[in-house]
Chain A
Amino acid sequence: MHHRPARRTRLARALAGLSLACVGGCSGGVLDPAGPVGAGDAAILINATFIMLAIVVPTILLAFWIAWRYRASNTKAKYLPHWSYSGRIEAVVWSIPTLTIMFLGGLIWIGSYQLDPFRPLPSKSPPVEVQVVSLDWKWLFIYPEQGVASVNQLVVPAGRPVHFSLTSASVFNVFFVPRLGSMVYAMPGMVSQLHLQADKPERLWGTSAQFSGDGFSDMQFEVQSVPQRDFDAWAARARGAGPPLDRAAYAELARQSANLAPRGYGSIDPHLFHAIAMGAIAPAPGPAPEGQGHAGREKTPEGRR
C-alpha cells in the first residue's frame, strides 16, 4: 500500500522536529508515525500542505506588495480609478484555485481509498483481532483469539497488522492512537472497523478523541507494541491470571468510572462483544439519578429514562 514509507517517515520526523514545542522531547504526535497507516496519513498531510503553500505564500506576498505599492502616498504608482475588469486576470484567478483543487482532488480520491480505515493492510502475517468497547470512561480491549481482555491497556505484536472492531456501550467515542494513525468512532449499536500496525516494539499511548462526558479527560490508554514472542507470552500469562470477563463482571465494569488503572481478564465470554454491539445487553447506565447532586437533575426514581 505504501511503497516508500521510510522516506515519508523521515520527512515526517524532520517536520515533527521543527514544531516548536517538541524541542524539549515530546510524547510523539501525528507527525511522528510509528506504523504504515500513520506514515501514509502524515505524508498526505505534509504533501498537501506543501502543495498549498506553493500557492498561498505567493498570494500573501502579492496581496501585501500590491497594497504597499498602491498606497495613497505613493505618487509613483499609476492611479487607474476605473480599472475593474480584465478577462485575462479573471481567467487566471479562476484557474489557479481550480487547478490546485483538481490536483488535491486526486490526492483526496487516491488517499481516501488507500487509507480507508476499513481496508485490510497488506501483510504476510494474518491480522490480530482486537474488539474494542468504549465505556464511560475507559476502554475495554477483547482478544477473541487469545481469550483474554484488558482495560485501558492495549498490547499488540509489532510488525503485524491489527484488525480492530469497535463499538460503544454508551455514548460516542473516538479510538485514536496518534502515532499509529487513523482514528475511528466507536458508536453504540454499530461496529466500525480499523486496521493499524505498529512497525517496531515501542510504548505508545491512545486516547478518545470525542468528548463523552465528565470523565472524558482520563480516557487515555497505554499501548504496548511488543515482539510477537512477547505478545504470545503476555497472552499466556494473562490467561488464567485475572478474573473472568463474564456478564456480571462486564455489568460492573460498564458503570460510570474514570481513571482506572490497567487491568486484565483471564477469560472472556466470546459472545460479549456482539451482544454489546447488537443491543442484546442493555446500554451502559448513565449517571445515577441522585449522584453528584447538581441542579436540575432528575431526583425522583420515576424520572424518565
Chain B
Amino acid sequence: MFGKLDWSAVPFSQPIPLITSVVILLAMLGVLVLATVKGWWPYLWREWITSVDHKRIGVMYGLLGTLMLIRGFADAIMMRTHQAMAVGGGEGYLPPEHYNQIFTAHGTIMILFGAMPLVLAFMNYLVPLQLGVRDVAFPTFNSVGFWLTASGALLVNVSLFVGEFARTGWLPYPPLSENAYSPGVGVDYYLWAVQISGIGTLITGINIVTTVLKMRCPGMSYLRMPIFCWTALASCLLIVAAFPILTATLAMLTLDRYLDWHYFTNTAGGNPMMFVNLVWAWGHPEVYILVLPAFGIFSEIFPTFSGKPLFGYRSMVAATLFICVVSMLVWLHHFFTMGAGAAVNTFFGISSSIIAVGTGVKIYNWIFTMYGGRVRFEVPMLWSMGFIFTFIIGGLTGVLLAIPPADFLTHNSMFLVAHFHNVIVGAVVFAVFAGLEFWFPKVFGFRLHAGWGKAAFWLAFTGFWVTFTPLYVLGLQGMTRRLQHVNVPDWAPGLYVSVVGVAILALGVAAQIIQLVVSIRHRDTLRDVTGDPWDGRSLEWATASPPPFFNFAVMPDVEGEEAYWDIKRRALESQQLGPEPDYAPIEMPLNSPVGIYTAFFTFVFGFSMVWHIWWVAVAALVAAFAGFVVFAWRDAHEHEVPAEEVARLDRARREARTALLARLPREESAS
C-alpha cells in the first residue's frame, strides 16, 4: 500500500534531524495558523500564489532562494564545527551516515535551490523592466517553472525527516550512487528533487530567452539592451543548452536504480565514467549560468555609482557571449585525474583558462568604468569592490586548477573547496547581496538601512576570507574534502581558524536579517517616492517604486544605450517631463492556479516515486497532466485594464517625478 514507507523512515532515534524537523514543522505550522487567523489567505492566493506577474514570481524566487541559502548555511556551520571537533582522534557529533548527507545536501541546496532561484529572481524581476515590456513571454509558464522549483526544494527538505538524503556528494557519481552501494532512498530523493526543479529551471530559461529575443520595447535594439539583459540571455541560453543534459543523465541513473538498467553500473557493460562525463557537461555550464547574471548585476552597479556609462559596452557584450560559448567546452577539467591522456588534458586545460580572458576583460572594464567617475561608496558598491578583490583571487586559483599538472596535486582537495567558494560566494552571493541593496527600493518602495548593510558587508567579507584562506593552506598540505573525521592532527589549527570565519559569517547573516527588520520598521523614513533612488540609468528606474503591475503605462521609446538616462537628461535640460501620453487600455494576463496545482501533484509524484508507492505516483502524474489539459482549454487568458485606471496610476508617478525635478539642480556643466 505505501511501498517502502513506514514509521522507521522517521528518525526518532537521531536527535539532530528529529529536533530540526520538529522545529521546522512547528515554524511552518505557525506561519499557516497566523495566515489563517489574520485572514491573509485570499490576499496570498490572489496576489502571490496564483500570480503570473513576473515581479511577484521574481520576489517568490528570491524568498525561496533566501530560505534555502539559510538552510545551506546551517549545513555549512555543522560541517565546519563537526570537522574541527573530529580532528586528530576527536569524534565530533555527526556519524558518517549523517555527515555525508549534510555535505551532499549543502552542495545540492546551495547550487540548485539557493543560488539558482536567487539568480532567477533577478532575471525574472528585471529583464522585462529593463527591456521596457509588461511581462515575460509566457507568464503562466513562468509560474509553473517557479512552483516546480519550489516543489523540488520541498522534496529535498522532506528528506530530512522522512527517510534520508543522498550520501554521495552533490553530484552522485556511480557506482556509489547505484543500488548496490546506496540502497537507501537518499539518492532517489536527490534524483526526483533535482529532476523536478531542473524542469522548472528549463521552463524559466526558455521564457527569458524568448522574452529577450522577441519582446523588447520600441527602439530597444540588441546593442541598446542593458548588460544585465545580455548576461541573462547568455545564462538562459546555457540553461536551454545544458539542462537537458542533466535531465537525460539523471534519467539514466533513475532507470539504473528503478528498472535495473545498466547505463552506469559496474556490471553488464555499464560505464560509470560516462556519468561523470555527462554530468559535468551540464555542471560546468551551470557555473556560468550562475555567474553571468552576477556579472550583469555588477555591470549595472558600477556605472550607476560612478555616475557615468559602462566602459566598453560592446566589449562587455562580446566577453559575455565569449564566456557563454567557451563554457560549454571546458567540462573535462573536472576529471583531468581520470587519465584522459595528455592531448585531451591539454585541450581542456587551455580552453578552461581561455575563459579567464573574458572575465579579465570584464574586470578591466569595470575598473575603467570608475575612471573619471564620481564613485559613491553606497552598500551595493562595497559588495562590488569586495567582489573585484575576491573574484580575482578566485580566478587565479581557478586557472591554477585548470593546469593539469597543478590539478594532479589539488583535485578534490580543500584547495578546490576554497577555490569554488571563492568564485561562487565571491561572485554570485556577493552579487545577490549587492543586487538586493540596489533593487530593494524598486521592489518594495523603500531603501534598506545603510549602516546595517555596511556592517553585513564587512562581516561577510572578513568572515569569508577567514573561513576559506585556511582551506587553501590545508589543501596544499594534502587534505582532501568530505572527510567525516580527520586523522592528521597537524591540520587542526586550519580547521579551527575556519570555524572562527564561519562564526564571523554568521554575524554577517545576522546583520543582514537585522538590516531587513530595521528597514521595515523605518520604512517611512526610507521611502523611495521618486522611483529612482540611486540616480539610475536603465528603464526599471523610469517606473514607480514598486512598479505598477503593468510596469509601464505606455511603452518607452528608446533612443540610446542608456534608455532612462537619456529620458532623464532631456527632462533635466527642459526642466519638465515629456507631454502626457495618450493612455490606452492595457491587456494583462489573468492569474492562474495551474502553476501551484501542477507543482503540488508533481511533488506528490516525486515523493511516491521515492518510496515506490506506485499507485499514488500514477494518480499524481495523471492529475498534474490534467491540470495542463484544463488550462489549455481555457476561454479567457487576459483582462483589460481601462485607460482611466492606467492614467490614474501613471499621473501619480508623473507628479512625483515633477516634484523631484524641481528639487534637482540643472544638468551639470561638466559635460
Task: Please report A residues at the B interface, Cβ cutoff 8 Å.
Answer: 16, 19-22, 24-31, 38, 40-42, 44-45, 48-49, 52-53, 56, 59-60, 62-64, 66-67, 70-72, 77-86, 89-90, 92-94, 96-98, 100-101, 104-105, 107-109, 111-119, 136, 170-172, 174, 176, 178-179, 181-185, 187-190, 192-193, 207-218, 220, 279, 282-283, 285-287, 289, 292-299, 303-305
Contact = CB atoms under 8 A, between A and B. Distances in A.
Given A78-B372, A171-B175, A279-B267, A115 B405 contact: yes
A182 B405 contact: yes
B184 A45 contact: no
Contact of A90 (B315, B405, B668): B315
A70, A112, A172, A283 interface centre (most CB from chain B within 10 Å): A112
6 contacts: A22-B473, A24-B493, A41-B408, A63-B389, A82-B309, A116-B342
B167 A67 contact: no
Given A41-B409, A214-B167, A217-B484, A108 B10 contact: no
Contact of B370 (A66, A218, A220): A66
A255 to B, nearest CB: 13
Contacts of A136: 181
A108 B309 contact: no
Contact of A217 (B346, B353, B487, B611): B487
Interface stretch (B61-69, B241-249, B359-367, B551-559): B359-367
A108 B477 contact: no
Interface stretch (B24-32, B392-400, B620-628): B392-400
Contacts of B409: 30, 38, 41-42, 45, 178, 181-183
A81 B97 contact: no
B164 interface: yes
B93 to A, nearest CB: 15
Contact of B272 (A38, A89, A181, A188): A188
B361 A97 contact: yes
Given A41-B408, A84-B313, A108 B346 contact: yes
A209 B480 contact: yes
B180 interface: yes
Interface string B276-312: 0000000000000000000000000000001111111
Given A27-B477, A45-B400, A192-B338, A183 B393 contact: no
B473 A20 contact: yes
Given A185-B338, A294-B184, A112 B404 contact: yes
A89 B361 CA distance: 10
B533 interface: no
B305 to A, nearest CB: 9
B335 A185 contact: yes
Given A108-B353, A109-B350, A214-B96, A60 B388 contact: yes
Nearest to A15: B476
B131 interface: no
Nearest to B100: A214
**In the complex, which of the residues B167, B357, B491 has the most CB atoms of chain A within 10 Å of its own CB atom?**
B357
A107 B403 contact: yes
B392 A44 contact: no
- Which of the listed residues A60, A78, A100, A182 has the most CB atoms from chain B within 10 Å of its own CB? A182
B180 A115 contact: no
Given A70-B374, A72-B374, A185-B335, A24 B490 contact: yes
Contact of B478 (A30, A92, A190): A30
A189 B350 CA distance: 30
Nearest to B176: A171
Contact of B408 (A53, A117, A213): A117
Contacts of A192: 338-339
B404 A115 contact: yes
B274 to A, nearest CB: 11
